[in-house]
Amino acid sequence: MTDQRPVRTVYCVLGVRSLGYAVPCLASLVRNSVDPLALTILTDSADDAATMRSRLEPLFVDERHRLTVHDQAHADALAADSYAAFPAVAEFRHGHPCWRKVTDPALYAASGEEVIIIDPDVYFPNRFAFEPTPATGLLLMWQRPNCLLPEPLVTEAYDRGVPMADHTDIGVCQFRAPLDLAALEALLTTIDTRPF
């Protein structure tokens, strides 16, 4: 009898300029994961999606894992419907490219489904399993030192009493869909992200 581990649903927002360091990191992810993975790459253009497939598909020799790649146009179509009642969230998606890490993975997850977001520069040197994803709330990889940027936006958030997580980067973030869009909308109407 074999151990039937559940498939872990992982998302990575990745641009082609980052492939140089992302390929070894993603290779370590699929090589060392104890659990089967469904990795979804969210990228920019259709050409970028084709490049991602050609560079990343060779990493998926372990048939327990599968790869899906979507371009931004695909995410934009989903967001037009999903975020129609949340104009600040919709605007936020088109700000800093990294902010799509917050908004876009949830577009692909069914209610109650696990969402694990990884940064493309996280390296997995040993066999590992992601922590169990909590039923509610958010689980973040914790690390020091703190490097919350852009500084003016972080300062404004502190000044307005917005609670901030003590972490450097997303690294690894886990939650269950759906994203709390009302809370995100309220936050984004509290602080001005437009200059960034």
Question: How confident is the model over 57-96, as pLDDT tens digits?
Answer: 999 999 999 999 999 999 999 999 999 999 999 999 998 8
Cα Rg of the chain, angstroms:
17
Has residue 135 got a pLDDT over 60? yes
The pLDDT assigned to 9 comes to 98
The pLDDT assigned to 168 comes to 44
Has residue 167 got a pLDDT over 50? no
Range from 102-111, 140-149, 150-159 carrying the lowest mean pLDDT: 140-149
Which residues, other chains included, contact 47 with Cβ-Cβ below 8 Å and sequence gap of 6+? Answer: none
Mean pLDDT computed over 150-177? 73
